[in-house]
A and B are shown apart, each in its own frame.
Chain A
């Protein structure tokens, strides 16, 4: 008798549960848009995959639209077209932290929830009631300072915690690269026997990064390592090392992990690379959007992690799954 009651109660609870889910299913036709920083980039292509996985999990529709290059003038028309389609939320990697504020305000005014991914508007701190760029609900991105710190630890270990190193970067003022450099410098300062030289900026030209490496090596024969804050910088510096005949002797750490990085690690061009987790950014971006659409709270800042890839671990599926893919 009691058993039967229990069973009935369970059935009741179960149907209640179904009823509950179906009330939540008012948000059944959830439309979430993802606007990448640019479309032609493995990083954002991988982010889209994570976003699609999350959208599928919650039964939302994902719209993916973006401009072919990193340019405010191209991103804003895409954003306006997306606003016209009235999604419930927009995930966007803003091309500029100031110039995208007004266009995104229009979306916000139309009742669309805004979440920024990878890059941010204002200062990236949202829902504070302060300033005119606090209206996005959440900022989901790699903790770039942490990425820089991880690079510093890995590079320090590979050079025996002593010697001279420098940072090779694109140009000053790119927030993510500046944060990586900041993290790298903070962490490397903890090694008393490592000296950090001036940062070299190469304007996205690997030929220049290579020449800079050779010039620095020319005046600093005891150079031990380089942290390339992005892939171009790392690959360019590595080529400089090859030209100078010190490939493998001066250790080069890179950042990011397109599929081609596997060869670079295996043939010793790069000692290591710090892979971001763009799929994770897309996944948690959609989840945060879904939460706020359905009236649930979401963290205003979600930091995603990194994986250090080396020649020795790149064949491990737990590591290689973080390679960026088309």
Chain B
């Protein structure tokens, strides 16, 4: 009985490991900050706002990646789809502005165009994987190149700058002290959580990731489901790209390049298995915060920057080890 309780506790901890990591990190930096500066790390609105800002765009990319990874896939193209959307949104907003549209409709139309364009490579990814039998790793690697090239072509190899007050507000403004960017990403998190946990689409995603043959036998249209999942990842990458442009008033083809591996790391730290079938949005949120806190915190306490890589790497390894232990002790999931 007592062993059972201990086991239950361990199981809960491994399931919530991203939040456990986050709590441990926050305690670490809290103590550290008190020791060297004599002030709090957490009870400091400035730090909280900076962290939320830092985590927002990578988290957006990771939300789409969460669906993909739960379905036992991987999307290597999200980084450059984000870059493509960043360039397209900059060009489109500037274009609609030049046509004489006021700032607000120009931004709305521009972002819509960017998102529609971003969904296209997602749909193609889905078709390649579901109907043509291309492994996700290879199919999306191909799209990684296509989206990258397309983004550079559209941009003419340059950074496309755009000046629009509403766009700038989306990327940098505040609503009652909370960054607009963070509010948008929070809404995206709520919608994603709802989709994954409350809808048939979410259930089917888990089912397909768990056992595709069984899902097929159960009558799930896994082909269409796969296309929807990758289209969703494309859409999130599109929003991320548009928000990047909003934030820096310029779209760059390589905007998402450094974020691709980060997005996968976030999902893995968040507790999803790369073999599919498990993962949650709340885990992904924690994963994004873990990476942001490590990178921000180490600069804050003035540690040699190269420790960031080591720290993030260790957290990824620990996270996967925790998952291994979990599935060994209690069987898969």
Interface residues of A (CB under 8 A from B): 39-42, 45, 68, 198-201, 203-208, 210-212, 214-216, 218-219, 231, 235-236, 239-240, 242-244, 258-260, 263, 326
From the candidates B50, B53, B172, B244, name the one contacting A218 in the complex (CB within 8 A).
Answer: B50
B46 A218 Cβ-Cβ under 8 A:
yes
Q: Which residues of B contact A211 (CB under 8 A)?
A: 50-51, 53-54, 292, 295-296, 299
Interface string of B294-325 (1 = CB under 8 A from A): 01110111101100000000000000000000
Q: Which residues of B contact A40 (CB under 8 A)?
A: 152, 155-157, 253
Q: Which residues of A contact B161 (CB under 8 A)?
A: 259-260, 263
Interface of A, secondary structure class, is helix
Segment of B3-11, B113-121, B218-226, B254-262 engaged in the interface with chain A: B254-262
Q: Which residues of A contact B131 (CB under 8 A)?
A: none
Knowing A198-B302, A198-B305, A204-B254, the reply to whether A243 touches B49 (Cβ < 8 A) is yes
Could you pull out 11 A-B pairs where Cβ atoms are within 8 angstroms? A40-B152, A204-B258, A207-B57, A208-B54, A208-B258, A208-B295, A211-B296, A219-B300, A239-B247, A244-B50, A260-B250
B158 A42 Cβ-Cβ under 8 A:
yes
Q: Which residues of A contact B51 (CB under 8 A)?
A: 211
Within 34-53 of B, Cβ neighbours of A (below 8 Å) are at 37, 44, 46-47, 49-51, 53
Q: Which residues of B contact A208 (CB under 8 A)?
A: 54, 258, 295
B248 to chain A minimum Cβ distance, whole angstroms, is 6
Q: Which residues of A contact B47 (CB under 8 A)?
A: 218
A42 B157 Cβ-Cβ under 8 A:
yes
A205 B258 Cβ-Cβ under 8 A:
yes
15 more contacts with CB within 8 A, not counting A263-B163, A326-B158, are: A40-B152, A40-B155, A42-B157, A42-B158, A68-B149, A198-B305, A201-B305, A207-B247, A211-B50, A211-B51, A219-B302, A235-B248, A236-B248, A243-B172, A263-B249
CA distance A210 to B57 in the complex (A): 13
Within 229-266 of B, Cβ neighbours of A (below 8 Å) are at 244, 247-250, 253-254, 257-259
Number of interface residues of B (CB under 8 A): 43
B228 to chain A minimum Cβ distance, whole angstroms, is 28
Q: Which residues of A contact B253 (CB under 8 A)?
A: 40
Q: Which residues of A contact B54 (CB under 8 A)?
A: 207-208, 210-211, 214
Q: Which residues of A contact B152 (CB under 8 A)?
A: 40, 68
B302 A207 Cβ-Cβ under 8 A:
no
B305 A200 Cβ-Cβ under 8 A:
yes
From the candidates A219, A235, A243, A263, name the one contacting B37 in the complex (CB within 8 A).
Answer: A219
B50 A215 Cβ-Cβ under 8 A:
yes
Which single residue of chain A is at the shortest CB-CB distance from B37? A219
Q: Which residues of B contact A41 (CB under 8 A)?
A: 157
CA distance A199 to B305 in the complex (A): 8
